[in-house]
Structure 1
Amino acid sequence: MALDKRAGQVAQQKDLTNIPKLMSHYYRLSPDVTQEDQRVSFGTSGHRGCAYNKSFNEKHILAIVQAVVDYRQGAAITGPMIVGLDTHALSQAAYVTALEVLTANGITVLVADNDEFTPTPVVSQAIVRANRPANVSQVSGLTDGLIITPSHNPPQDGGIKYNPPHGGPAEGEITKWIENRANDYLARQLEGVKRLNFGVAQNTSLIVPTDLMSTYIDSLGDVIDMQAISKADIRIGVDPLGGSGIHYWEKIASRYNLNIELVNDRVDPTFSFMTLDKDGKIRMDCSSPYAMAGLLERQDDFDLCVGNDPDYDRHGIVCPGFGLMNPNHYLAVAIEYLLSHRPLWSKDLIIGKTLVSSAMIDRVCQEQGRTMCEVPVGFKWFVDGLADASFAFGGEESAGAAFLQRDGQTWCTDKDGFILALLAAEILAVTGKSPAVLYQEMVERHGESFYRRIDSPVKPKRKAKFNQLVANEINLSQLGLTQLAGDAVDAVLTQAPGNLAAIGGIKVSTANAWFAARPSGTEALFKLYGESFVSEQHLEQVLNDAQTMIENLLA
C-alpha cells in the first residue's frame, strides 16, 4: 500500500465524517441480508461496519443483541450483563439500541456511572472479578458483557463484540451461532426481536449505573508495581487518541501519585485532532507512527510516552530518542522483563504468541527456559490460558496483550492497553532503561529482526478461493516453492503448532525467515507478514517470493 502524501499531517475539514448524516443513515438505512457485505459477520473482533454501507445499522444491532440474549439463555447465563462503549459516534447510538433490547428481555445491565465511556479491558476485568467463585451464587448467576467499539477503525465505523463469562473474546463457535441467529432475525424482518423504548427502559430498575472506573483503577496495583513508578517519578506523556480511557488517567495519577500529563484531552466523534494514517485516512491506530505523529512531536518532553486506541485494548510505546516502538519489539521486552521480575509466577507458566508475531519472542523464551505456545491470529486463543492462569502472557503483533497479576492470578482475559502502557513505565522505573534501550540489548544477544506487514485490498472471490485452498492444507508442491529468499523451506503450516487450530492462511518458514498470508477477518484486506533475521534486503526478497507464490495460487 503506497504511502499517502499527507500521512502524518493533521486532518483537514475534507477528511472529517459528516456525523449527522452518519447517524441518520444508522437509523434510516436497512441492510439487505441477501447481500454478503450487508449481513452480520463476526471476525476475530466481533461485527464491524459502517452505516453508510448498510453494514452497521440499527437493525444489525437489534438482531445481534437479541441473538446474544438467545445464546446466553441457552447457555444458562443468568447474571447481569456489563455493557461498555468507546467514543466512536455509532457506538453511542448502538449502545442505546442494545439497552433497549436487553431491558426488553428482562436482563439487568451494568453500565458506567455518569454515562462514562468504558474501555474493553475494564469490562473484561469486571467480568473476571464478578465470576470468581467467591462472588458467584445461584442467585447472582454468571456475568458476561457487550463492548460497542470498532477498535482503531475510522470515525465512520461501528462495532460490537461479545465477551462471555470467561471475560475474553467469544470463541468461534459462539460468534458463529450469534452470527447465524442475527442474520436469521434480519431475514425475518426482526420478527421475534424484543425492544423497550429507551425512555421507558431508563425508568426500570434493569439499568444499573456502576462505578467500574474506580474498581478497575484501585486494582491496578495487583498487576503493575505502581509504587516503583511513583518512587522513580517517571514523567509520562499520554495521548488517549480521543478514546474511552481518556478520563481514567487523571484518576490513575491521583490514586498512585504518578507524574502523568495528557497531551491531548479532546473527545470528538470526528477525531479531527488526529494526524492521518499511512493511507491518508483518520485511523486511531496507536501502533502507527503516522497516527501517533502528534505524540511523537512531544516525546522529548517526557521520560516515556504512551498512546491507546479508542477502546483501549491496544498500546503504543514511545521512548525519547527512539520514537514509537515496533509492537513486536515491545512485546519481546515486556515478556523478558515479566519473566525476570515476577518472583511469584510459576516457572511452568506458558507464553502465548500469535504465529505472525516476531520470532524474537521465540528466542527470548528459549533463553529464559520457558514454554511458548504459538496460536492463530486472534486474542481469543489466549483466553482459556489466561482464565485458568496457565498462560503468563498472551500477545499479538498488532499491539494487543494481557498478562497475569503479580501474584500469578488472572487479571483479565482480553487485551489491556492500560497495563501494557503502565508496564513500560515500570520497566523504566525498575531497570533505569527504557524498553527501546532494552530491545537494543536484546538485538545484541539474539540478532536483529527485520519485520513488515503489507495490507492489500482483496475481492471476495479471491478471498474465498484462498480460504478454500488453505482449508485443504496447502503443500510445497502446490506452492511451487522449495526455497524462500535462497533458503530451504522448513515448514508450510495451515495449522498453528501451539494448538493445531486452523490459521485461516498459511505460514512458510526457513531457518532465517518466515512469511504468513491470511485474509483479514474484519476488513476487505489481504494481509502478508514477513520477518528476516538476515537483512532488510533479505526481507524484501522474502516478501517478493511470498507475493509471487500467492499470485500463482490464485491464478
Structure 2
Amino acid sequence: MARIKFGTGGWRAIIGDEFTRANVRLLCGALAQRIKEEGHAERGIVIGYDRRFLSDVSAHWAAEVFAGEGIACQIIKIAQAPTPLIMWTVKDRKLPYGMAITASHNPALYNGIKVFTAGGKDADEDVTHDVERRMETLEGDGEERIGLIDYDKAVKSGKVREINPFNGYIDSIINQVDMEAIRKADLKIALDPMFGVSRTSLQTILMTARCEVEVIHDRHDTLFGGRIPSPTSATLDTLKRYVVDNDCALGIATDGDADRLGVIDDKGNFLHPNQLLVILYYYLLKYKGWRGPVVRNVATTSLLDHVAEMFGEKCYEVPVGFKWISGKMLETDAIIGGESSGGLTVRGHISGKDGIYAAALLVEMIAVVGKSLSQIYDEITGQFPPHYMAEMDFKFDSERKPEILDTLMVRKEIPEFSATVVDTSYRDGAKIYFDNGWIIARFSGTEPLLRIFCEMPTREEAERACIEFREFLGL
C-alpha cells in the first residue's frame, strides 16, 4: 500500500512524521508521470502555498521535481495565496493541473497538498487513486530516478516561472458582486483571517467597495495563535466580541487557506455554515432572480431542501468531499453548493470552495436587501419548521477503527434511538433518517476522528440522538 493516501481534502499529514521532503517529492514525481503521459508537460502546473510552517519551502521542493521531470511549472509568488486563488489561476490560464501546499483548517502540526485539475476543480477519485498507484510503484528504488533541479537554477533557466495572478482573481470577484450597492450601504466589517491568507484579498475587495474594514489576527503566526484555524463558534469568541463592541454589520472569518467561511452576525451570534448556505441560496433565488438547484453533502442541513421546494427547485445530496459537490453542480447546473464544514461555491465562479467570494456575496446581500444579517435569517427561517444541528467529534484508539467500521458499515447495527427510524443509508458513513430529522456517523477524511451530525426540530432532541449514538459505539 502506498505510504501516502488522499483524503476528502487532499493529502494531510503531521510535519516531520509523514509530511516530509521525501514524501512531497514522491507525490510530485507520481503526478509528473501522469502529466507527461497525458501530453500536458508543456502546459504543466501552477503551485501556490499558504502561511503554514514549511509551506513555502515545500512549494520549492515540488517545483524542483516538476522542473526536473520536464513539466512547465509556475509558482504563485505572493505572501498570501488563498487556495481559491490557485484554483482560479488553473481555470483562468487553462492549465491541466494545480497544487496548493496547505493543510487547510487542520492543527498547526499538519501540512499537506491539494491537487486540482482542469477548470480549477478538486482532483476526483480517479486522479487521486491513479497518483496513489504511481506512488506505490515509485516507492523505494524508483524514488532515486525522480528528476530534480535546484529551485534557483530552475527559475534562472525559465523551467520555473514566478507569477502573481492576484489582480485578476480580485477583479473576477469584483465583476460578479454588486459593488455599487455595497458602496451605498456604508458598512463596517470585522475581518478575522485566523492568521491565514485571506486578509489581503478580502480587505482589497471590501475597501474597494468603500467598506470600513477592521482586521484582527492577521500577523504571520505558524501556530495560528494556539488555536485550530477553523472558523467555528468555539474559535471565534474574539470576533464575536469585536463585532458587538464596534457596532459592525458582520464579522467574517476564514480558515487557514481561505476556502472556508465563518460568519458572526450583527448581534454577535455565530452563523453555522448550514445557515449561510440557506441564506445565500434564498438570496440568489429571491433577490437576484437566479434559477437552479442546490447541492449539499450528507451532513448538511435539509432546510436547503425546503428552500428549493418553495421555489420549485431541487436539492441534490452527495457524499462528503467537495469534488462530489462541484461534480454534481456541473451535472445539474446548480446555482450553489456547499457543506456543513463551511465550504461553498456559486455558479459562474470556480468549481471549488471560495471563502473570499462567499464573504463578498454576503456583504452584497446585506447591502441589497437593506436589512441586518440577523433580520434576513429570521425572515427566512420564519417560513419553515425549525431545524437544529448538533455536531460531535470523537477521537478513538486506531485499533478500534476496524471494529467501529464493522459495526456500522458491515453488520449495519444502529442504536435504539428515542426518535422513530424510517430509513437508513450507507452511501457515506451510516446515516439514519427519523420521521422528523436525521443523524449520521462517519470517519473524517482529514483527521483521525469519528464525526456525528444530527438535525432535529429541537436542540435537545439533536443532542440526545448524538449521545445515544456515542454511547452505542462506546466512545
Quickly name the TM-score band, shorter chain normalised.
Answer: over 0.9
Query: CA 1:77–1:490 in structure 2 vs 1: closer, same or farther (change >3 Å)?
Result: farther
Equivalent residues of 1:317, 1:424 under 8 A apart: no
Whether 1:63 aligns to 2:26 is: yes
Q: Which residue of 2 aligns with 1:446?
A: 384
**What SS does structure 1 have at the residue aligned with 2:126?**
helix
Q: CA deviation at 1:375?
A: 0.5
Whether 1:332 aligns to 2:332 is: no
Return the letter of the residue paired with 1:402.
T
2:125 equivalent among 164, 172, 175 = 172
Q: Which residue of 2 aligns with 1:530?
A: 454
Q: CA deviation at 1:397?
A: 0.1
Q: Which residue of 2 aligns with 1:44?
A: 8
Q: Which residue of 2 aligns with 1:510?
A: 434
Query: CA 1:311–1:263 in structure 2 vs 1: closer, same or farther (change >3 Å)?
Result: same
Query: CA 1:106–1:117 in structure 2 vs 1: closer, same or farther (change >3 Å)?
Result: farther
How far, CA to CA, are the matches of 1:267 and 1:221 in structure 2?
26
So what's the TM-score if we normalise by structure 2?
Answer: 0.93
Q: CA deviation at 1:424?
A: 1.6
Q: Which residue of 2 aligns with 1:211?
A: 164
Q: CA deviation at 1:230?
A: 1.6
Return the letter of the residue paired with 1:87.
R
Equivalent residues of 2:201, 2:356 under 8 A apart: no
Q: CA deviation at 1:387?
A: 4.5
**What SS does structure 2 have at the residue aligned with 1:428?**
helix
Whether 1:479 aligns to 2:414 is: yes
**What SS does structure 1 have at the residue aligned with 2:366?**
helix
Q: CA deviation at 1:298?
A: 0.8
Q: CA deviation at 1:351?
A: 0.5
How far, CA to CA, are the matches of 2:398 and 2:160 in structure 1?
41
Equivalent residues of 1:127, 1:145 under 8 A apart: yes
Return the letter of the residue paired with 1:62.
R
C-alpha distance after superposition, 1:218-240 (max 9, x if no partner) = 11133322221122121111111
Whether 1:297 aligns to 2:261 is: no
Equivalent residues of 1:314, 1:417 under 8 A apart: yes
Q: CA deviation at 1:50?
A: 1.4
Equivalent residues of 1:60, 1:182 under 8 A apart: no
After superposition, residues 55-454 of structure 1 pair within 5 angstroms as 55-78=18-41, 79-113=43-77, 115-131=78-94, 142-188=95-141, 190-271=143-224, 274=225, 282-286=227-231, 288-300=232-244, 301=246, 302-343=248-289, 345=290, 347=291, 349-387=292-330, 390-404=333-347, 410-454=348-392
Q: CA deviation at 1:311?
A: 0.8
Query: CA 1:239–1:541 in structure 2 vs 1: closer, same or farther (change >3 Å)?
Result: closer
Q: CA deviation at 1:386?
A: 4.1
Deviates more, 1:535-544 or 1:234-243: 535-544
Q: CA deviation at 1:420?
A: 1.3
Q: Aligned residues, how many? A: 472
Return the letter of the residue paired with 1:284.
P
**What SS does structure 2 have at the residue aligned with 1:146?**
strand
Equivalent residues of 2:87, 2:116 under 8 A apart: yes
**What SS does structure 2 have at the residue aligned with 1:161?**
strand
Query: CA 1:247–1:486 in structure 2 vs 1: closer, same or farther (change >3 Å)?
Result: closer
How far, CA to CA, are the matches of 2:194 and 2:460 in structure 1?
34
Return the letter of the residue paired with 1:71.
R
How far, CA to CA, are the matches of 1:270 and 1:480 in structure 2?
40
C-alpha distance after superposition, 1:84-118 (max 9, x if no partner) = 111101212211111111111222222224x4331
Equivalent residues of 1:358, 1:531 under 8 A apart: yes
So what's the TM-score if we normalise by structure 1?
Answer: 0.80
Q: CA deviation at 1:254?
A: 4.7
Q: CA deviation at 1:519?
A: 0.8
How far, CA to CA, are the matches of 2:169 and 2:329 in structure 1?
18
How far, CA to CA, are the matches of 1:362 and 1:86 in structure 2?
35
Equivalent residues of 2:252, 2:262 under 8 A apart: yes
Query: Share of identical aligned residues, percent?
Result: 25
C-alpha distance after superposition, 1:401-422 (max 9, x if no partner) = 0001xxxxx3101100001111
Return the letter of the residue paired with 1:298.
Y
Equivalent residues of 1:424, 1:434 under 8 A apart: no
Q: CA deviation at 1:378?
A: 0.8
Whether 1:494 aligns to 2:426 is: yes
After superposition, residues 3-18 of structure 1 pair within 5 angstroms as none
Q: CA deviation at 1:203?
A: 1.0
Query: CA 1:522–1:264 in structure 2 vs 1: closer, same or farther (change >3 Å)?
Result: closer
- What stretches of structure 1 of length at least 5 have no aligned partner? 1-33, 132-141, 277-281, 405-409, 496-502
**What SS does structure 1 have at the residue aligned with 2:295?**
strand
**What SS does structure 1 have at the residue aligned with 2:106?**
coil
Return the letter of the residue paired with 1:285.
S
How far, CA to CA, are the matches of 1:110 and 1:194 in structure 2?
17
The alignment's C-alpha RMSD in Å is 2.2
Equivalent residues of 1:90, 1:157 under 8 A apart: no
Equivalent residues of 2:278, 2:303 under 8 A apart: yes
Return the letter of the residue paired with 1:283.
I
How far, CA to CA, are the matches of 2:394 and 2:176 in structure 1?
38
Whether 1:545 aligns to 2:468 is: yes
How far, CA to CA, are the matches of 1:121 and 1:550 in structure 2?
38
Equivalent residues of 1:130, 1:143 under 8 A apart: no
Q: CA deviation at 1:60?
A: 0.8
Equivalent residues of 1:166, 1:387 under 8 A apart: no
Return the letter of the residue paired with 2:250.
L
Equivalent residues of 1:127, 1:166 under 8 A apart: yes
Query: CA 1:168–1:71 in structure 2 vs 1: closer, same or farther (change >3 Å)?
Result: same
Deviates more, 1:439-448 or 1:312-321: 439-448
Equivalent residues of 2:196, 2:218 under 8 A apart: no
How far, CA to CA, are the matches of 1:243 and 1:480 in structure 2?
41
